[in-house]
């Protein structure tokens, strides 16, 4: 949803930044690896220690720059199959760090029903969010385009980010738990959508 509509805006904003990165001699793969490392460090350092507001801010900046490597690749003509593979693979590591850290936060800082729901929702979000791109990749292997779905990567991160910001301002932990539940449900729906698209087209 958000990923499709935000690409035009991201391109306009990130192109000047990519031009600066080009002048500095940076490569798309450098940005991919660097962005993932910053994401993992920010997630592990800030989320389990209950600094969700700062984590949301840091991850929002990282998310805004998530397309910078692709923009630089197009600008320099250095697009490659390996670059696409690296970006997709490291995205899974970054997402796992975020959702895994949120699950750890729920286990460490919540109590009672909120803790139970938070842990299970965090696990479910981690599993289903990782399955979404896997379903697309496997569909492509048999010649089916299963890229569509109700929730892309950007949507998932924005939802938990909003929950973290609301928690930082209100102190209500259920805001984060609700975000995890929504991400888990939307990711499951997206997986089902991609399975149905693949099933339909494969049969045809």
Task: Count the neighbouring beta carbons within 10 Å of the beta carbon of residue 25.
Answer: 7
CA distance 181 to 190: 14
Contact yes or no for 132/187 (Cβ under 8 A): yes
- pLDDT higher for 62 or 85? 85
Whole-angstrom Cα distance, residue 190 to residue 163? 21
pTM score of the predicted model: 0.87
The answer to whether residues 125 and 180 touch, using CB atoms and an 8 Å cutoff, is: yes
Active site annotation includes 95: no
Rounded distance, CA 92 to CA 102, Å?
15
**Confidence check: pLDDT of 78 > 80:** no
* Position 173 confidence tier, pLDDT thresholds 50, 70, 90: very high
Instruction: Give phi and psi for 51, each to the nearest 5.
Output: -105, 60
Q: Which residue in 91, 95, 145, 155 is the catalytic one? A: 91
Contacts of 166 (CB under 8 A, 6+ apart): 172, 175, 176
Q: Given a cut of 80, is residue 140 above it in pLDDT? A: yes
List C-alpha distances in Å: 29 to 26, 35, 68, 100: 8, 10, 10, 25
């Amino acid at each position: 949803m958000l990923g499709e509509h935000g690409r035009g805006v991201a391109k306009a904003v990130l192109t000047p930044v990519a031009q600066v990165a080009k002048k500095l001699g940076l490569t798309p793969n450098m940005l991919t690896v660097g962005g993932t490392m910053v994401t993992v460090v920010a997630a592990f350092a800030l989320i389990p220690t209950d600094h969700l507001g700062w984590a949301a801010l840091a991850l929002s900046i990282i998310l805004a720059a998530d397309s910078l490597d692709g923009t630089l690749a197009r600008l320099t003509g250095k697009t490659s199959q390996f670059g696409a593979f690296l970006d997709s693979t490291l995205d899974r590591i970054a997402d796992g760090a975020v959702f895994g850290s949120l699950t750890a936060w729920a286990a460490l800082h919540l109590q009672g029903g909120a803790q139970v729901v938070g842990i299970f929702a965090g696990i479910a979000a981690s599993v289903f969010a990782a399955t979404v791109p896997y379903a697309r990749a496997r569909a492509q292997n048999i010649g089916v385009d299963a890229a569509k779905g109700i929730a892309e990567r950007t949507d998932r991160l924005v939802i938990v980010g909003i929950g973290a910001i609301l928690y930082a301002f209100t102190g209500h932990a259920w805001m984060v738990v609700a975000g995890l539940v929504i991400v888990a449900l939307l990711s499951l729906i997206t997986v089902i959508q991609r399975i149905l698209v693949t099933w339909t087209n494969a049969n045809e």
